Structure 1
Amino acid sequence: MSRRKLRVGVLFGGKSSEHDVSLVSARSVMAAIDKTRYEVVPVGIERDGHWLRGGDPMAQLTAGEYASPLPAAQLAQDAAPPRVDFAFLAGETAVQLVNGASSPMAPQVDIIFPVLHGPMGEDGTVQGLLDLVNIPYVGCGVLASALGMDKLVCKAAFAAQRLPQVPYVGLLRRRWEAEPDAVLAELEAQLPYPMFVKPANMGSSVGISKAHNRLELAAGLHEAARYDRKLVVEQGVDGREIELSVLGNDDDVLVSLPGEVVPGNEFYDYAAKYLLDNSQLLIPAPLTPALTQEAQALARAAYLALDGAGLARVDLLLDRGSERLFINEINTMPGFTSISMYPKLWEASGLAYGALIERLLELALARHADRQRNVTTR
């Protein structure tokens, strides 16, 4: 008797400005999952937070501009995927998707791959939901996801481990709006130009700007404040952008070869990442063996500082003058198309895209099994 395939629920979309980036990543993941071992169950999340299950949620979220790799019979379950008000109902060994009336919407899912970027998906919110219903999922847990999303809290965690970072200042949107002149004067007293201005909780370079003077600094703070109540202002450095991929659970982790992003724009902003074809990815990065080893050690230390699990991409800055490395940030669910930096670095390190997805699913199941060892009674 043949064993039933594991059903992998792939989550995509979400309530985030990175909604569209998530769709692109999820397309690649669903196409590459080994269909001889796994059954893909696509689950889309609309921008307003409603969940779509059945039929082809990806086609609905992309207005049909998508060629699904899923079997026709599976897509025919529903012509238009229903909107789901509450998504998960725990079972003994799996989870069922349900609607507001709690009517089951088969099939069950055995493991979740949350291909969600940004707030309300990559920040621990979905991870907490999955922990509550006790289902395995790919990637970092609640703590690491939340820390990785909040740049200010993440910087504090890195500082506690004495990891090198560029000087920075954190502030609240409320104070910026109440005392703009005082905020600008304080920032100029603490940091030299140029400065980078960022929303604390956002990814894909959304809301990030580079300020060369007070006028640009004010504009940057105004733009970042559109996305978050917490803002980060960092001292700019004449640096090279070095990225590394991390894979593993607990302290049993592997770090890829480093890659380098050579942005087509003044810095690697949203347009340079997703809209323009004017940036270069150098894999491996042209670094000395000593710098390569140092970069890998920093990436591993950053991952462990947050109690990472499954995967993350660690972004570093290499100062051109001093050749000092600084941790820029960590991304706990990096872009996951076949041409994204995270899988490309693993490919260069000897792990192909399909095998990488397989390994991530294995790591998720292993971490979940380890959690089941925790007693919940006295």
Structure 2
Amino acid sequence: MRVAVIGGGRNCEHEVSLASAASVATGLAAAGHEVVGLTIGRDGGWHDRGGRLVGLAGAAQILSGCDVAFPMVHGPRGEDGALAALCDLARIPWVGSGLGAGALAMDKAATKLVANSVGVATAPGRLVTRSGIDAVRWSRPVVVKPVCAGSSHGVALVDHALALRPALENAFAVDDRVLVEEVVVGREVDVAVWRRADGSVFVPPALEIVGEGIFDLATKYDGSADLQVPADLTDTEAAELRKAAVAMVEALGCRGVARVDFFLTAEGPVLNEVNTIPGMTAASQAPRMFAAAGIGYAELLDLLVRDAVPARLTAEV
């Protein structure tokens, strides 16, 4: 098929998105597909594979000549459903979740509400806006994070009172809404869920992020993270994580591959966040989990684009 891979984006995850898009393009080509590259610049301008500025109208024309789009723009104006909405309006099949699921999952405060409604535990905490910053008081270690940002931008572990205000200011530099959550003591375990066009799900072995502290921006991309897959889990722990991950994916209405991140505590899984467009280089968490299930990188990408086309065509009938 002719696949449009969209990377970049007008947000703080621009470089990460470029890496994911480049890797996906290479993998799809290896699987025998014709790849058409589109890049959204930091200024929001659309560029073709040759780097020429084509604008939104030109990008739409390029997309119309493709069989399916593969959005790889992490963060706002991409993962939040914006690109899925564009493809939907243009009647172009796309890989991944739709507008509703993308918007809900990108909003960590809304995700917590959905989780609580289906019985999935979340960390105790509060939502803070700029007008309420002076009312926040520190009494115990907390994690401060922007509501709608990814790749741990603006996230900080606050373990003493004097660090709270700077952490809040740093988070507000990324978003107008911030979550302040109690620190959850547990193992960090990620679960990938592939929800197919027919509603069935496939869940590969889980992955554990081994180490002290929080899995922050530096640790994610400096190569120092110790990612263990399959995670060392009991049958009961694996079943609990799978049940919670599938419950979140179905409640949010996700399609394609989503990565659901948990803290595994003595009381069971506690949801951290849901990523509807997770990192998709061959070394990223989600592809590593599928590899542990015997599904190679190029094969995974091929399965995703093939599954997306009948799903969107059927939805239009």
Decide which of 101, 123, 129 is 1:172's aligned counterpart.
129
CA drift of 1:266 comes to: 2.1
Instruction: Give the match's secondary structure for 2:313.
Output: helix
Instruction: Give the match's secondary structure for 1:136.
Output: coil
Decide which of 53, 76, 85 is 1:82's aligned counterpart.
53
Q: Does 1:372 align with 2:311?
A: no
Q: Does 1:161 align with 2:118?
A: yes
CA drift of 1:288 comes to: 0.8
Mapping 1:203-352, distance limit 5 Å: 203-249=150-196, 251-263=199-211, 266-275=213-222, 277-319=223-265, 322-352=266-296
Unaligned runs of 5+ in 1: 1-5, 58-80, 90-95, 99-106, 374-378
CA drift of 1:352 comes to: 0.9
CA drift of 1:174 comes to: 3.2
Decide which of 39, 42, 61 is 1:44's aligned counterpart.
39
Farther off after superposition, 219-228 or 160-169: 160-169
Residue 4 of structure 2 aligns to which amino acid in structure 1?
Answer: G
TM superposition outliers: structure 1 runs of 4+ over 4 Å: none
Instruction: Give the match's secondary structure for 2:136.
Output: helix
Mapping 1:87-166, distance limit 5 Å: 87-89=58-60, 96-97=61-62, 108-166=65-123
Aligned length: 316
CA drift of 1:84 comes to: 1.5
Which residue is 2:149 aligned to?
A: 202
Which residue is 1:65 aligned to?
A: none
Whole-Å Cα distance in 2 between the matches of residues 36 and 129 of structure 1? 26
**1:153-212 deviation per Cα after TM superposition (whole angstroms, max 9, x unaligned):** 111111111211111111212332xxx1xx223xx4xxx521000000001111100011
Q: Identity of aligned pairs, percent? A: 35
Whole-Å Cα distance in 2 between the matches of residues 267 and 110 of structure 1? 40
CA contact (8 A) 2:2 2:33 kept: yes
Higher helix share: 2
CA contact (8 A) 1:53 1:84 kept: no
CA contact (8 A) 1:244 1:313 kept: yes
Residue 218 of structure 1 aligns to which amino acid in structure 2?
Answer: R
CA contact (8 A) 2:47 2:59 kept: no
Instruction: Give the match's secondary structure for 2:126.
Output: strand
Whole-Å Cα distance in 2 between the matches of residues 237 and 163 of structure 1? 14
Whole-Å Cα distance in 1 between the matches of residues 302 and 270 of structure 2? 32
Which residue is 1:33 aligned to?
A: 28
**1:286-310 deviation per Cα after TM superposition (whole angstroms, max 9, x unaligned):** 1111101111111111101101101
Whole-Å Cα distance in 2 between the matches of residues 194 and 283 of structure 1? 29
Whole-Å Cα distance in 1 between the matches of residues 49 and 193 of structure 2? 33
Instruction: Give the match's secondary structure for 2:122.
Output: coil
Whole-Å Cα distance in 2 between the matches of residues 87 and 224 of structure 1? 36
Whole-Å Cα distance in 2 between the matches of residues 151 and 232 of structure 1? 8
CA drift of 1:278 comes to: 2.2
Farther off after superposition, 6-15 or 211-220: 211-220
**Alignment root-mean-square deviation, CA:** 1.7
Residue 2 of structure 2 aligns to which amino acid in structure 1?
Answer: R
Whole-Å Cα distance in 2 between the matches of residues 108 and 214 of structure 1? 56
Instruction: Give the match's secondary structure for 1:33.
Output: helix
Which residue is 1:70 aligned to?
A: none
Q: In 2 relative to 1, CA 87–330 (structure 1 residues): closer, same or farther, beyond 3 Å?
A: farther
TM-score, scaled to structure 2: 0.95
Whole-Å Cα distance in 1 between the matches of residues 243 and 232 of structure 2? 17
Residue 251 of structure 1 aligns to which amino acid in structure 2?
Answer: G
Whole-Å Cα distance in 2 between the matches of residues 206 and 118 of structure 1? 10
Residue 198 of structure 1 aligns to which amino acid in structure 2?
Answer: K
CA contact (8 A) 1:257 1:296 kept: no
Instruction: Give the match's secondary structure for 1:140.
Output: coil
Residue 268 of structure 1 aligns to which amino acid in structure 2?
Answer: F
Residue 241 of structure 1 aligns to which amino acid in structure 2?
Answer: E
Decide which of 2, 8, 23 is 1:7's aligned counterpart.
2
Which residue is 1:62 aligned to?
A: none
Whole-Å Cα distance in 2 between the matches of residues 85 and 257 of structure 1? 40
**1:57-80 deviation per Cα after TM superposition (whole angstroms, max 9, x unaligned):** 4xxxxxxxxxxxxxxxxxxxxxxx
CA contact (8 A) 2:29 2:35 kept: no
